[in-house]
Amino acid sequence: MKKSLPNPVLILALLALLMGFLFQEGFLLPRFYLVAAVTDGDTIKLEDGRVIRYLGFDAPEEEACFSQEAKEMNEKLVLGKKVQLEFDINKMDRFGRYLAYVYLPEEEISVNQFLLKEGAGEFFLDTVNLRHQDLLVQAAEEGHQAKKGLWQACAPDPKVGCQIKGNLDKLDKRWYHLPSFRHYDQVVINLKDGDHWFCTEKEALEAGFERARE
């Protein structure tokens, strides 16, 4: 009995559906998008009109310390260039912005990681989009340790950097610890647990942290 060959049209249609799914889910990055504008340190606008918010990275808000510098760093890096996008589980935020890992393929740069390493902002904890969380945390820690960007410019003493520890205890209570505190060295900062580094006590208080006992 002669076996019938698969319908080539059907095969092509299935392949097209598969490729479309992979592109949509961010597993493949075949397309390039021109960056038409930079909104701030962590947000850009593409030529097609979409607004992209960098995943895992949070630049200072407008009027905050280092906000203008962060925007300028972002502009110098991506404005007028073609980027590739990678999406995770949640593709959009409540403001209608697309959430993405952004890449400059010609320079082989992960924009999210680069800006964290340069201290243009801090790590933003996302409990859903976790694909590159470890790499982003590492980049953020490197930027803080090297006193890059805001970690030096916004510190009361630039030589020391931003050293106030914001820590969540076992009951999720938020405390901040100054370097002069007796148990300061015993406090471990884990960005994946919601801990933070702060430059000033005012920042810590505004973020909802209370001063710990000395």
Token pair, residue 89, equals 């589980």
The per-residue pLDDT for range 112-149, each reduced to its tens digit, is 999 999 999 999 999 999 999 999 999 999 999 999 99
Beta strands in the chain (DSSP E): 33-40, 43-46, 51-54, 57-58, 82-86, 98-104, 109-110, 122-123, 164-168, 174-177, 196-198, 210-211
DSSP, collapsed to helix, strand or coil, labels residue 9 as: helix
The residues spanned by each domain of the chain are 33-146, 163-211
- This prediction has a pTM of 0.86
Measured in degrees and rounded to the nearest 5, phi and psi for residue 202 equal -60, -45
The per-residue pLDDT for range 62-112, each reduced to its tens digit, is 999 999 999 999 999 999 999 999 999 999 999 999 999 999 999 999 999
CATH 2.40.50.90 fits 33-146, yes or no: yes
**DSSP letter string over 30-41?**
---EEEEEEEET
Question: Which DSSP state fits 181?
Answer: S
The per-residue pLDDT for range 142-185, each reduced to its tens digit, is 999 999 999 999 999 999 999 999 999 989 999 999 999 999 99
